[in-house]
Amino acid sequence: AQRVTQPEKLLSVFKGAPVELKCNYSYSGSPELFWYVQYSRQRLQLLLRHISRESIKGFTADLNKGETSFHLKKPFAQEEDSAMYYCALRLQGAQKLVFGQGTRLTINP
Amino acid sequence: DAGITQSPRHKVTETGTPVTLRCHQTENHRYMYWYRQDPGHGLRLIHYSYGVKDTDKGEVSDGYSVSRSKTEDFLLTLESATSSQTSVYFCAISAGQGGYEQYFGPGTRLTVT
């Protein structure tokens, strides 16, 4: 079955430190991966899509098909990065997304 | 915000009562979705719609029904609310490159007592 796993429910790092949020997926087809972010009291918003290969707010993510991972990275964390982050998988040929359980990131001053 | 609104934004109801949540969009998107968000479970798809009167079940559809009589409105109904349905409910639409990016509404916090 298709599955997205975010192994860390909570992640806390200091401002200026590197941050990596882990995402692993289980899917036999051709995956499309996304990262969504939800800041406090705001709606979920799209952060990254692997096809775009963009860097948004300093975050990057590389799809590693060999390791079935799509980890989100930022070299220098900022306090405004504190939020809930969700990794999501779109199945080939489908319009539905499968979400991971989410990681709550806290950046300490 | 892709023109997505949800109503009500907050609701408290009693066990056994019917509840309907509304999602409204202004940009004529074909696909609409209902999710619930729970700690430890992330977002789980309840139902989705791929056009007027065209709907399908998601992974947690038991106890929920949906209707879409107009492109702009997607209704989620809890026929007989239970405490396990206490959650935050999000509506979403598909848009963007290839139509595969989802954009979310502000959410409805539902408490069933």
What's the token pair of residue B96? 């963007």
**How many helices (H) does chain A have, and how many strands (E)?**
0, 11
Q: What is the pLDDT of residues A55-99, one digit of tens each?
A: 788 899 988 989 999 999 999 999 999 999 999 998 877 788 999
What is the DSSP track for B24-68?
Answer: EESS--S-EEEEEEETTTEEEEEEEEEETTEEEE-TT-TTEEEEE
Q: Residues in chain B whose beta carbon is closer than 8 A to a beta carbon of chain A?
A: 1, 31, 33, 35, 40-45, 48, 50, 58, 90, 92, 94, 96-97, 99-107
Interface residue A13 vs chain B (CB under 8 A): no
**pLDDT range class, residue B105, cuts 50, 70, 90:** very high
Q: What is the pLDDT of residues A33-45, one digit of tens each?
A: 999 999 998 899 9
A97 with B45: Cβ contact below 8 A: yes
Interface residue A101 vs chain B (CB under 8 A): yes
Q: What value does the mean pLDDT take over residues B82-110? A: 91
- In this predicted structure, the answer to whether residue B61 has a pLDDT above a threshold of 70 is yes
> What's the pLDDT at B23?
98
CB A34 within 8 A of CB A53: no
B44 with A32: Cβ contact below 8 A: no
> What's the pLDDT at A95?
82
Q: What is the pLDDT of residues B6-56, one digit of tens each?
A: 999 999 999 999 999 999 999 889 999 999 999 888 899 999 999 999 999
User: Collapsing DSSP states into helix, strand and coil, what is residue A97?
Assistant: strand
Residue A95 Ramachandran class (φ > 0 left, ψ -120 to 50 alpha, else beta): alpha
